[in-house]
Amino acid sequence: MSDLTILALSGSLRKESLNTRLLTSVARLAPPELAFDLFTDLAAIPPFNEDDEHPAPAAVADLRRRIRAADGVLVATPEYNGAMPGVLKNALDWLSRPVEEGPVLERKPVAIIGASKGPLGTIRAQLNLRVVLHKMDVTVVGQPEFVLPHAHEALAEGELPAGSPSHSILTAVVEGLVDLIEHRRAVASLAR
Ligand SMILES: Cc1cc2nc3c(=O)[nH]c(=O)nc-3n(C[C@H](O)[C@H](O)[C@H](O)COP(=O)(O)O)c2cc1C
């Protein structure tokens, strides 16, 4: 595996967020060839308004720059009322534009994970996120899917226990993201 950078995007604003903790845990457990750029500041992204697109607000420009600089993106979404949080959808609306410049997430390799306190572990929020990313023409890792139910218990020690079934699936998701990045690179080099 060559050196890769992954933008790790937390869909939560909370200081003690389980989803941010999950991303931190992934970064700690990943092989050294993977560098993680953790983004936890969706609070800085203003509500999307077409009137404010030009020039883009500084926080939006910063997020776009960091996504462009990354080889892939790992999104950890909380679940609010059966869907992704509004702040995450708001950020995606900004990232879906400007259409004429080629949105930064278009065909970008992305993987989705999520942790919730409930028994379904963000499965509905992830489905909701997948639908939106599909519309945005983002390339998303299909399998495996990683959900972490009762995450306040599973992450009580701060990290997923190494060797646990959850940890193995999480590792497989990251491997799926790396495969997708490397596949896209191989296709791009053939096209040159
Ligand atoms: C407004 C709101 C709605 C929620 N709805 C759900 C839900 O639909 N399903 C679920 O499993 N948890 C739900 N929860 C609980 C979240 O799983 C829990 O707050 C979780 O810790 C949020 O993620 P975070 O720790 O990364 O901030 C909800 C929490 C809030 C504040």
Lowest mean pLDDT among 58-62, 145-149, 163-167, 169-173: 163-167
pLDDT tens figures, 17-28: 999 999 999 998
- Binding site membership of 12 for ligand 1 (Cβ less than 6 Å): yes
Ligand 1 probe mutation, 39, 75, 80, most atoms within 8 A of CB: 80
Nearest CA to ligand 1 atom 2: 80
Helices 165-191, 18-29: inter-axial angle, 10-degree rounding: 70
75 and 129 Cβ atoms separated by less than 8 Å: yes
> pLDDT of 39-56, one tens digit each?
999 999 999 999 999 999
Give the residue whose CA is nearest to atom 29 of ligand 1: 80
Give the DSSP H/E element, type plus range, for residue 91: helix 86-95
- DSSP annotation of 57 reads P
Distance CA(85)–CA(55), nearest Å, equals 26
| Residue 30 Cβ < 6 Å to ligand 1 | no
Taking CA atoms only, the protein residue closest to ligand 1 atom 20 is 116
Question: CATH: 3.30.750.24, 2.40.30.10, 3.30.420.40, 3.40.50.360. Which one for 4-191?
Answer: 3.40.50.360
DSSP for residue 50: G
For ligand 1, is residue 166 a contact (CB within 6 Å)?
A: no
Q: Do 63 and 91 form a contact (C-beta atoms < 8 A)?
A: yes
State the distance from the centre of ligand 1 to the C-alpha of 86, rounded, in angstroms.
Answer: 12
Task: Look up residue 56 and give its DSSP letter.
Answer: P
138's tokens: 């983002």
The band of 163, judged by pLDDT with boundaries at 50, 70 and 90, is confident
Q: How far is the CA of 29 from the centre of ligand 1 (A)?
A: 25
- Which atom of ligand 1 has the smallest separation from the CA of 16? 25
Q: Give the 3-state secondary structure of residue 130.
A: helix
Q: How many CB atoms lie within 10 A of CB 138?
A: 24
The pLDDT of residue 158 is 84
CA–CA gap between residue 135 and residue 131 (Å, rounded):
6
CA dist., res. 140 & res. 110, Å (int): 5
Give the residue among 60, 58, 1 at the shortest CA–CA distance from 35.
1
